[in-house]
Amino acid sequence: MLSKNIEKALNDQVRIEAESSQIYLSMASWAEIHGLAGIAKFMYLQSDEERAHMLKLVRFINERGGHAKVSELKAPKTTYETFKEVFNEVYKHEVFVSEAINELVHISITEKDYATHNFLQWYVAEQIEEEAQAKTILDKINLIGDDKGGLYLFDRDLEQLSTNGSTSGI
């Protein structure tokens, strides 16, 4: 059985994951209308992945005797100046999500809820991957600089990776 404190903290994370999905969906739309099909495809996949993370939390809360709640979401940003700005936002957002997961882990330890602590370890590992992926992408973007040919190749590479169903090999 979940304590009310942990139930609330997990429900806050449900909202964070839902908002993450919306953020990536908005980024996908922006990239798509700017002719960046690879970045759009990558962001659509990221949006789906964040929604899956949200659903995993919802099921866990309900299975543990809590009540997962669907809350109002903050509208995401819809316009960006450059694709580099998009990926800077991705990285900052993933760091924010990692901090939220770490706080959840702290609460679960403080309350001696080891089942929740164990469940959250998947999210801890996932966030390590998400941050590393965002950092790798930013490193590649910095290598490209203002080279339009580099942007073309980068976009194409993201599209091919996304077509293979995995974005972890970036």
> Residues at the annotated binding site for Fe cation?
17, 50, 53, 94, 127
Q: What is the 3-state secondary structure (H, E, C) of 102-133?
A: HHHHHHHHHCCCHHHHHHHHHHHHHHHHHHHH
The enclosing H or E element of 58 equals helix 37-63
Positions at the binding site: 17, 50, 53, 94, 127
> Within 10 Å of residue 100's Cβ, how many Cβ atoms?
18
Residues near 56 by beta carbon (within 8 Å), at least 6 away in sequence: 122
